[in-house]
Structure 1
């Protein structure tokens, strides 16, 4: 053997190709990292105010490529990055709400917490990825992760669920069959199915292409086929409804000091509406809706009595209500022109760190203001009221993100959904449009028209198929008046209730267990083969 030439170093147990392989590994890692972040951002772009619902399955298709061949910890990391790509821009409206007093810590912390759920879901996706029909099981795992994050920690936060990106489009009618969980599953399985389809087609593995084709195509076809079944016609007559938008100062968190201004604005806009009704400029409504917390209220209120008498129409009044010696509640009151204040509904699902503060010791890390705040008291009754001869569902603001609130009200006989909300806290951000998209989805899910009444916009009238017939701009004083259908037929989604969600979660858990068993067997077989050699 010839002696090594000058300037060379003899390898010491390391293959000569190792540096090149290491370089390639780093490049692949960076590429997957970039694709995970980009896929998360594309998913964000599918949410309102953009009408780009079709980007959601494409985002999951890109994410499916990231997860191919990954192990548990790799899935965890890439899933977390995918989640940050979604939640950092989606929740940027928290900056408009909290302003400089809080800095960026709450926005970053909440985004990271929600991204961690997607990280955990992606890690479990790597466990089920070797099962037959992997796109189906992976999609179930992703959707199953939405259930715990809706409730925990600190009361949960369901913003950014997959279904909320679909207020219109091919998948939307599936909400009437299985609600938000089934709709979200259809979007994700289409995306993961596209990934598998492209991989097998690239290998020309035509036998293995059949299931990916089914996963990618069937949800789209099913959704399109269901569109003709979405009823919009009146089944119990119609109601002419007015939504009063009095406007509010655009001051973010300082709105807590502007309750008098908020009340004055809505009293003034109600006077304008009363004049329009008397002059015949608008048709006389059967029902008028004020937004959430448009006034403070304790016991009697002669001013509101007089305003509703002038309107001459039963009115829903949103108020911060506190009985003497009791805790404040976020309440909707039925106000009659003749008899005054009547039935009420108090918000059940309070907003964490806004209407109540969970984990106060941890929250103090992010804000110095906790000692000056108290928790609201949640209600316990279903979100349904009788007004103007109509059974009305009244989820308040944040409650539209929770499946059970509107569903329970519709199953209790609600013929119409009314959504009073106060979005003035969030400035000219995307938040109000994201919430409007949820209201449009609920219209299809429950087969009911929806009336959105906001303090500062966007107020809207929505048909049972999710179509917005008329809406306001942000930070304007305006009243919407229009006719909406009353419907009595319940959708399959309402009849199935939470069982669709339970079924998806249960199937995801079974798939994960099956994946763990398969992985254990494969390791055992590999160990046996190694020993035999």
Structure 2
């Protein structure tokens, strides 16, 4: 009976946490309601306050699983079981957060430790397993909000801390028992951060130099998984779009580009080994008479292996510089534990050859300009972006293929992440997608061009080059390491405090034996 009563008391808290997780999921694209973050965080903290660690694990799990179920329903294109598995896996990180947050909330400086613990949780989700899944970071919701401009100074982890901290301040204002002084300080601090961020101005000027680039979105035949197996059609769509681009250049309708960008998977047939694919690319290159950055899947380096690459194809010298994707998608581009899983999950055979990660950043000097090439999902990984910027990239390129997830909200989420990267790095980002969304994002995160999905789109842009560093790119990963370290320190202090409190509350053991003095026996 006692357990049933305890469960009955816990269920309303789990319900609140589930609601908070759903609200947080709606903060992101395609719903784009970023200020729900500062509603969701205090609701979760209210549900965690004053309960045991075991109960905190259940509350955190309810929050996290619901959060990811709302955030990434697009994975159901692969299979409903895949979407459920990802939501449960990522949600368990927030179950661990809930487990420890119940104790951290008891500390004197809990308002500092909690947002640090949140950053530590995001760091964990972005790191493990299989390289992590950094899709659910609070910062990604703020591409359209003034608060997002802080990313240029504190980076993506720092912005997540700020968002979580504002949520903590809201909770401090509303929490029963909070001293009046604490409520006033929390309210003033929260308002100062929000309105202060609106005063930040981000430059669009660059360093006085510019480059002209053309993004070619050739489109694909079909949606979802329908386009698979139609590689030649996709390549020829991009060939024809490039030929039409040159017609517009010859007619004086658009400026001649210095570089043409084809998307990821613009050819899934290795152009080094297939004469027909190579001929299509060379026809396009010779037509525009400038280099084309081709997105190609190449065979090797080993047997039954492949790489997702960006290849600079020059009209004179042919294929030259090459960047191989460093963060291929597990179960999408390669299968962990392949030999063990394939006999039981036959659907994984659709993945084909194992994609092998590349080595080194995609910094590509092309005719006097340094480009930083990033391929699809890996733009969400901090080290990939940091490496190309510190390698001297003056403008960033994202080659992507979202055809599998077209119309599901995933392309909008990726586009928002790309906008946050532009703010963080202070660089223009050029996006080429097979089927959308392609576009141009300015260094302040604003959008110059955004294509529709599943349409052909050709866009020529004259964009500034930037050699300087934002504060965020200068300090690199230090905010994440420091905030994660502080979160772990708060956790250690909370566990020590719990141990001390339990020791103080434990009554001393009863004395053994009698304390009555022995009587002397007369001799």
The alignment's TM-score, normalised by the length of structure 2, stands at: 0.91
Q: What is residue 154 of structure 2 aligned with on the other side?
A: 178
* 1:73 to 1:26, Cα distance in 2 relative to 1, 3 A: closer
Q: Is contact 1:105-1:366 (8 Å) kept?
A: no
Structure 1 residues 133 and 219 mapped into 2: Cα distance closer, same or farther (>3 Å)?
farther
Residue by residue over 1:392-429, the C-alpha shift from the partner in whole angstroms, topping out at 9 and shown as x without a partner, is 11110011010111111111111101101000011311
2:150 aligned with 1:169: no
Cα deviation for residue 337 of structure 1 reads 2.2
Q: 2:172·2:178 contact (CA, 8 Å) conserved in 1? A: no
Query: Is 1:285 equivalent to 2:264 in the alignment?
Result: no
Cα RMSD (Å): 2.4
Answer yes or no: is the 8 Å Cα contact 1:106–1:366 preserved in 2. Answer: no
2:203 — aligned with what? 231
Deviation at 1:34, TM superposition (A): 1.9
Please name the residue that 2:520 is paired with: none
Q: Shift in Å at residue 283 of structure 1?
A: 1.7
Instruction: Select the residue among 416, 434, 444 that pairs with 2:395.
Output: 416
Q: 2:335 aligns with which of 333, 357, 364?
A: 357
1:284-341: per-residue Cα shift (whole Å, max 9, x none)? Answer: 2222110001012242623312211111222211101126866321111112222222
Is 2:441 the counterpart of 1:441? no
Report whether the alignment pairs 1:246 with 2:218.
Answer: yes
Of 294, 306, 317, the residue aligned with 2:283 is 306
Q: Is the 8 A contact 1:87 1:111 kept in 2?
A: yes
Give the gaps of 5 or more residues in structure 2: 512-523
Contact 2:411–2:436 (CA<8 Å) still a contact in 1?
yes
- Per the TM alignment, residue 485 of structure 1 is displaced from its structure 2 partner at its CA by 1.3
Aligned to 1:340: 318
SS of aligned partner of 1:483: strand
Name the structure 2 match of 1:69: 50
Say whether 1:297 aligns with 2:270.
yes
Paired residue secondary structure (1:386):
strand
Corresponding residue for 2:93? 117
Query: Are residues 406 and 244 of structure 1, via their aligned partners in 2, closer, same or farther at CA, if it must alter by over 3 Å?
Result: same
Residues 81-105 of structure 1 deviation map (CA, whole Å, 9 limit, x = unaligned): 1112211122111122x2xxxx421
For these two proteins, the number of residue pairs brought into alignment is: 504
106-115 vs 31-40, which moves further: 31-40
CA 1:22–1:112: 2 relative to 1, 3 Å: closer
Name the CA distance, whole Å, in 1 between partners of 2:344 and 2:172: 43
Query: Aligned runs of 1:90-129 on 2, under 5 Å?
Result: 90-96=71-77, 98=78, 103-129=79-105
Whether the 8 Å CA contact 1:419–1:452 is kept in 2: the answer is yes
Q: Which residue of 2 aligns with 1:10?
A: none
Provide the C-alpha distance between the structure 1 equivalents of 2:113 and 2:191, rounded to a whole number of angstroms.
16
Whether the 8 Å contact between 2:57 and 2:99 is mirrored in structure 1 is yes
Q: Which of 276, 282, 299 is the aligned partner of 1:322?
A: 299
- Is 2:111 the partner of 1:135? yes
- 2:390 matched to 1:390? no
Report the CA distance shift for 1:237/1:448 in structure 2 as closer, same or farther (over 3 A). same
The CA deviation at 1:521 is: 1.3
Q: Structure 2: how far apart are the matches of 1:484 and 1:48? A: 26
Mind listing any 5+ residue stretches in structure 1 that lack a counterpart?
1-17
Match of 2:485 in 1: 506
- Quickly say closer, same or farther: Cα 1:466–1:288, change in 2 above 3 A: same
**Residues 136 and 215 in structure 1, CA contact (< 8 A), matched pair in contact too:** no
Indicate the residue corresponding to 1:89 in structure 2.
70
Query: For residues 121 and 301 of structure 2, what CA distance do their matches in structure 1 show?
Result: 42
Equivalent in the alignment of 1:367: 345
- 1:262 is the counterpart of 2:243: no
> Secondary structure, in 3 states, of the residue corresponding to 1:106?
helix
| Structure 2 equivalent of residue 381 of structure 1 | 360
Q: Which moved more, 1:383-392 or 1:404-413?
A: 383-392
Cα displacement (A) at 1:366: 7.2
1:207 lines up with 2:143 in the alignment: no
Secondary structure in 1 aligned to 2:431?
Answer: strand
Aligned equivalents of 1:68 and 1:397: distance in 2? Answer: 40
Deviates more, 1:517-526 or 1:369-378: 369-378
Whole-angstrom CA distance in 1 between matches of 2:509 and 2:143 = 54
CA contact (8 A) 2:214 2:259 kept: yes
Deviations 1:200-247 (A, max 9, x none): 5xx57313325533663454245334x22x221121412222110000
